[in-house]
Amino acid sequence: MSHPSASIEIDAPIEVVWSVMLDASSYGEWNPFIERAETADPPAVGNPIVLHVRWANGKTTRSPERINEVSPPTDGAACLAYVYEGLPSKLGLVRGIRFQRLTALGEGRTRYDTVEEFSGPLVPFAGPGRVADGFRRHAEGLKARAESLV
């Protein structure tokens, strides 16, 4: 699996879900996968972002990234994306770009889809299965947080 992903439908308008996604300072309150995200507020293209990740087994790591897309809700769609910038990426061993996309479903509902597009010779050792598990936990937390706000 070189493209771990997760999807979920959320009973909240796209604007509410988007605001939760961009409120990086509140991630620790609802996100079981990314406990903290260090970046400028509001997130903007070109900004570094350091993700403090908690794996399902309780171990933690830091993931340096750079935001490369912030497309707010327009015509029923939105996207936040960032590129992995850790040492394995600099050495060409593991590259990754994570997309988080929102689609308005109508009647105040939103679909959240996320995928990490990995490439490089050491991808199998990067733990794509555990990343997929983290994305699932992230999606469930995002759903709970956004739904609690409406």
What pLDDT is recorded for position 100? 98
On whether the CB atoms of residues 56 and 132 are closer than 8 A, the answer is no
pLDDT digits (tens, 9 = 90+) for 118-143: 999 999 888 899 999 999 999 999 99
The pair of three-digit structure tokens given for residue 20, joined into one six-digit string: 């939760």
Q: Return the beta strands (E) in the chain as ranges.
A: 5-10, 34-38, 48-54, 60-74, 77-84, 95-106, 109-119
Per-residue pLDDT of the chain (150 residues; tens, 9 = 90+): 479 999 999 999 999 999 999 999 999 999 999 999 999 988 999 999 999 999 999 999 999 999 999 999 999 999 999 999 999 999 999 999 999 999 999 999 999 999 999 999 999 888 899 999 999 999 999 999 999 999
How far apart, in whole angstroms, are the C-alpha atoms of residue 57 and residue 34?
14
What pLDDT is recorded for position 125? 85
Domains of the chain: 5-148 (3.30.530.20)
Q: What is the 3-state secondary structure (H, E, C) of 50-77?
A: EEEEECCCCCEEEEEEEEEEEEEEECCE
What pLDDT is recorded for position 41? 85
What pLDDT is recorded for position 63? 96
What pLDDT is recorded for position 1? 47
What pLDDT is recorded for position 51? 96
How far apart, in whole angstroms, are the C-alpha atoms of residue 110 and residue 91?
38
How far apart, in whole angstroms, are the C-alpha atoms of residue 145 and residue 141?
6
